[in-house]
Copies of this chain bind each other. A is one copy, B any other.
Amino acid sequence: MGAPSLFSAFPEALRLRLQSLAVPRNFAAGQIIQQHGDEANGFWVIEQGQVKIGRYGDGGRFQVIAILGQGDSYGELAMFGRFARVVDAVAVNDVRLYWISSARMDRIIEEEPSVSRELLRLLSGQLQEALDMLIARRRLPAKRRLAKSLLLLVRGTEGSAVVNFTQEDLAELVGTSRMTISVALADMEARGLVKRSYGRIEICDIARLEDC
């Protein structure tokens, strides 16, 4: 969610061009790719594997914000905003990434105004979405907030999907306690919306989950 993935929304031609210019890099499972506070002079595109985005909280526990997969990008926000990395990124499994430097991106923006316009459009859309969420989620009961969060995590998929989050992660994400999540999930399972298993949630019927 939150963590935008602008790259996958780029027009095909630009994606290919960037990829051909980019520097490929590999990381092993569990390796830290970027850390909170690092300088942001570029961004990453995931070619293969998965990356956990989140933050090491008090007590060293990693609080997941999103898990990104193939075709997703991250780090554009800090790069464009010219602020330091605010999140940590860790390789879930062995991953292959492309690195696109801010210098490279700057040149493209210079050469093609259409790219700027597209970027502005995407960023504006995401900001609007974030603002909507701030307004919409506030007074909903925990169960419905959970439903919304799950839907955001599997956005783009149809039918069924799997979310590789522990209930504790979900609790952090939704802004509630693990016990509330546990009860809410049991309720959803009883209604055939999801299936609980160890460390992951299977979403059976995305369409039906939409109406709470």
Enumerate chain A interface residues (CB-CB to B < 8 A): 2-4, 65, 76-83, 86, 106, 109-110, 113, 116-117, 119-121, 123-128, 130-135, 138-139, 174-176
Contact = CB atoms under 8 A, between A and B. Distances in A.
A194 to B, nearest CB: 22
A108 B123 CA distance: 19
A2 B132 CA distance: 9
Contacts of A113: 109-110, 113, 116
A4 B124 CA distance: 10
A134 B133 contact: yes
Contact of A127 (B4, B109, B138, B176): B4
Q: What 8 pairs between A and B have smallest CB-CB spacing?
A: A138-B175, A81-B124, A116-B116, A130-B130, A80-B124, A80-B120, A123-B123, A110-B113
5 contacts: A2-B131, A2-B134, A3-B131, A79-B124, A139-B175
A165 to B, nearest CB: 15
Main secondary structure on A side of the interface with B: helix
Contacts of A78: 124, 128
A127 B125 contact: no
A174 B124 CA distance: 23
A174 B128 CA distance: 18
A127 B123 contact: yes
A95 to B, nearest CB: 23
A116 B110 CA distance: 9
A146 to B, nearest CB: 13
A121 B105 CA distance: 13
A77 B117 contact: no
A131 B66 CA distance: 12
Contacts of A120: 80-81, 109, 116, 119-120, 123
